[in-house]
C-alpha cells in the first residue's frame, strides 16, 4: 500500500492523525472540541459526512423537499382538487406559480399533494423492506440452522421478475383492497406492501454478511460467556453494529420505492386518476406534451431531484459510516 497517488491516507494510524489534525485546524467547528481527545463514533461520522459536499447538499435538498411538500399546504391553501374551469391551461402567474391544468386545478397545490403521497409511499415501503430485510438477514446470519433455508428463499425472490410481478399484483389485488379500505387507502397499502415485499433482498444479504462476520468477534464471545441470551445478544450487540449498512440501504430503499411508485402510476396501474402523485401527474402531463411540456417537467424534476438527493445522501452515509475511509 505505498501507492500514495490514489489513496493519500490508507493507513489507519494516518487516518486517526488526519482526524486529529482536522480538528485542530478547525478549533471552533461547532461540536468539535479539540481539547477533548475521546470522541464518540457519531461525531466522527458527522465530521466525515460534512466533508462530503454532495451528501450534505443532498441531505439539505431532501429535507427541503420533504418540508415543502408537507408544510407547503399550510401556506399555499388552494385545494388541489378544486376545479376552476374558466382558469384552465394557464401559464405561470402570481396566482398560479406553476400554472393550471386542463381542468383549472392549481399545479403547485397538486405537486405538493402528489409529493406527500410519493414521499410517504417511499418512506413507508422503505421501512417495510428494511424491517423484512434486517429480520431475514439477522436471523439467517445468527442462527446457522435457518441460514440455508432463508438464503435460498432470498435467492428465489431475487430471481423473480419484479416489475412484471408488481404490475400483476396491482392488477389482481386492486379491487378487493379498494373495497376494504377505500380507493386511496387501499391502493396505498397495496403499493407499499408490493414494493416492500419485492425489495428487501439486498438488505437481507448485506446484513447477513455483516452478522456472520460479527458473530466471530471477541465481544460477542465475551457477551456469550457471561450468559447473554440470544434475544439480548441480537438487540444489544448485533443490531447496533449492523446499523450502518441498514442506514445506507434505507436511503437507497427510499429512492427505489419512489421510482417504483412513479413507474406504476406512470403505467396507469398506480393511484386512481383524481388522486395526484408525482408519477400520476407526469403521466397526465404526457397527453399535453406538445402544447404544455412544463406539465411533464415539474413532476419529473421533482422525482429526479428527490431521488438524486437521496442517492447522494446514501453515498455520503456509506463513506461516513465506513471506518476504513473515514477521515480521508
Partner 1 sequence: MLTFTIRRLALAVPTLVFIALVIFLLLELAPGDPMAQVPLTVPPEVKEKMRLALGLGEPMHVRFWKWIVQFYWIEPQVLIDHIFGTQFAEGKLRMISWQTRSPVMDIVAQRIPQTLWVVGTAYVVGILIAIPIGIYSAYRQYSWFDQLGTFVSMVGFSVPPFFSGVLVIVIFSVNLGWFPSIYDTTLQVVDWDSFVRQLQQMIMPVMVLALQITAQISRFMRSSMLDNLNQDYVRTARAKGLGEYTVVMLHVLRNSMIPVVTVIALGVPAIFGGAIITEQVFKVNGIGHLLIGAIQANDLPMVQTLAFIFAILIVLFNLIADVLYGILDPRIRYD
The HSE-up count of residue 307 (CA atoms within 13 Å, CB side) is 19
Is residue 184 within 8 Å of 272, Cβ to Cβ? yes
Query: Cα 93 to the chain's mean position, in Å?
Result: 34
Q: How far is the CB of 178 from partner 1 (least distance, A)?
A: 11
Interface with partner 1 includes 180 (CB under 8 A)? no
Q: What one-character DSSP code corresponds to residue 162? A: H
The verdict on 225 binding partner 1 (CB under 8 A) reads no
- Asked if residue 97 binds partner 1 (CB under 8 A), the reply is no
Q: Does 176 interact with partner 1 (rule: CB under 8 A)?
A: yes
Q: In angstroms, what is the minimal distance from the CB of 325 to partner 1?
A: 12
Q: Does 250 bind partner 1 (CB under 8 A)?
A: no
- Find, among 34, 16, 17, the residue nearest to 25 by Cα: 34
> Could you say whether residue 212 binds partner 1 (CB under 8 A)?
no
Among 64, 71, 85, 163, binds partner 1 (CB under 8 A): 163
Q: In 3D, which of 120, 41, 141, 133 has the Cα closest to residue 278?
A: 120
CB of 159 to partner 1, least distance (A): 5
Give me the DSSP letters along 260-323. HHHHHHHTT-SS-TTS--HHHHHHHHHTTTTT-THHHHHHHHHHHHHHHHHHHHHHHHHHHH-T
| Piece of the chain touching partner 1 by CB under 8 A; list 2-10, 78-86, 141-149, 192-200 | 2-10
By the rule CB under 8 A, 272 interacts with partner 1 = no
| CA dist 134 → 35, 216, 231, 232, 234 (Å) | 39, 19, 14, 16, 11
User: Within 121-160, which residues bind partner 1 (CB under 8 A)?
Assistant: 155-156, 158-160
CA 248 to chain centre: 8
Subset of residues 72 to 91 that bind partner 1, contact rule: CB under 8 A? none
CA distance 214 to 241: 8
Count of residues near partner 1 by CB under 8 A:
50
Instruction: Please report how close the Cβ of residue 278 comes to partner 1 at its closest, in angstroms.
Output: 10
Residue owning grid cell 465530521 = 47
Does 168 bind partner 1 (CB under 8 A)? Our answer is: yes
Q: Is 266 in the site for partner 1 (CB under 8 A)?
A: yes
Contact with partner 1 (CB under 8 A): which of 308, 322, 323, 325? 308
Query: Is 322 among the residues that bind partner 1 (CB under 8 A)?
Result: no
Out of 312, 320, 326, 327, the residue judged to bind partner 1 by CB under 8 A: 312
Whole-number Å distance between alpha carbons of 21 and 25: 6
The answer to whether the CB of 214 falls within 8 A of the CB of 187 is no
Nearest distance, CB of residue 293 and partner 1, angstroms? 4
**Do 80 and 109 touch, CB atoms closer than 8 A?**
yes
Shortest CB 123 distance to partner 1, Å: 17
Under the criterion CB under 8 A, does residue 297 sit at the interface with partner 1? yes
Note whether 206 binds partner 1 by CB under 8 A.
Answer: no
For 202, other C-beta atoms within 10 Å of its C-beta total 18
Q: Least distance from C-beta 246 to partner 1, angstroms?
A: 20
Rounded Cα distance, 271 and 254, in Å: 18
Residues that bind partner 1 (CB under 8 A): 1-3, 6-7, 10, 54, 155-156, 158-165, 167-169, 171-173, 175-176, 255, 259, 262-263, 266-269, 279, 282-283, 286, 289-290, 293, 296-297, 300, 303-304, 307-308, 311-312, 315
Amino acid at each position: 500500500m505505498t501507492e500514495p497517488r490514489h489513496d493519500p491516507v490508507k493507513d489507519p494510524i494516518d487516518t486517526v492523525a488526519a482526524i486529529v489534525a482536522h480538528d485542530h485546524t478547525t478549533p471552533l467547528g461547532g461540536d468539535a472540541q479539540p481539547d477533548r481527545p475521546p470522541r464518540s463514533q457519531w461525531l466522527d461520522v458527522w465530521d466525515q459526512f460534512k466533508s462530503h459536499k454532495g451528501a450534505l447538499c443532498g441531505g439539505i435538498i431532501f429535507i427541503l423537499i420533504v418540508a415543502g411538500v408537507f408544510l407547503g399546504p399550510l401556506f399555499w391553501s388552494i385545494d388541489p382538487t378544486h376545479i376552476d374551469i374558466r382558469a384552465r391551461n394557464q401559464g405561470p402567474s402570481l396566482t398560479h406559480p406553476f400554472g393550471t391544468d386542463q381542468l383549472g386545478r392549481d399545479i403547485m397545490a397538486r405537486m405538493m399533494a402528489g409529493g406527500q403521497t410519493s414521499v410517504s409511499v417511499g418512506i413507508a415501503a422503505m421501512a417495510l423492506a428494511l424491517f423484512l430485510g434486517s429480520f431475514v438477514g439477522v436471523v439467517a446470519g445468527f442462527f446457522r440452522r435457518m441460514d440455508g433455508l432463508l438464503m435460498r428463499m432470498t435467492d428465489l425472490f431475487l430471481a423473480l421478475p419484479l416489475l412484471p410481478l408488481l404490475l400483476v399484483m396491482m392488477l389482481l389485488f386492486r379491487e378487493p383492497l379498494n373495497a376494504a379500505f377505500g380507493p386511496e387507502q387501499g391502493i396505498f397499502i397495496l403499493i407499499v406492501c408490493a414494493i416492500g415485499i419485492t425489495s428487501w433482498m439486498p438488505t437481507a444479504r448485506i446484513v447477513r454478511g455483516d452478522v456472520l462476520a460479527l458473530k466471530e468477534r471477541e465481544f460477542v464471545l465475551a457477551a456469550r460467556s457471561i450468559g447473554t441470551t440470544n434475544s439480548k445478544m441480537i438487540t444489544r450487540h448485533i443490531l447496533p453494529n449492523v446499523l450502518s449498512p441498514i442506514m445506507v440501504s434505507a436511503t437507497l430503499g427510499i429512492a427505489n420505492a419512489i421510482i417504483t411508485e412513479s413507474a406504476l402510476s406512470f403505467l396507469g396501474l398506480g393511484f386512481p386518476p383524481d388522486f395526484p402523485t408525482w408519477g400520476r401527474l407526469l403521466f397526465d402531463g404526457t397527453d399535453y406534451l406538445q402544447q404544455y411540456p412544463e406539465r411533464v417537467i415539474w413532476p419529473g424534476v421533482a422525482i429526479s431531484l428527490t431521488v438524486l438527493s437521496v442517492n447522494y445522501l446514501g453515498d455520503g452515509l456509506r463513506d461516513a459510516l465506513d471506518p476504513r475511509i473515514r477521515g480521508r
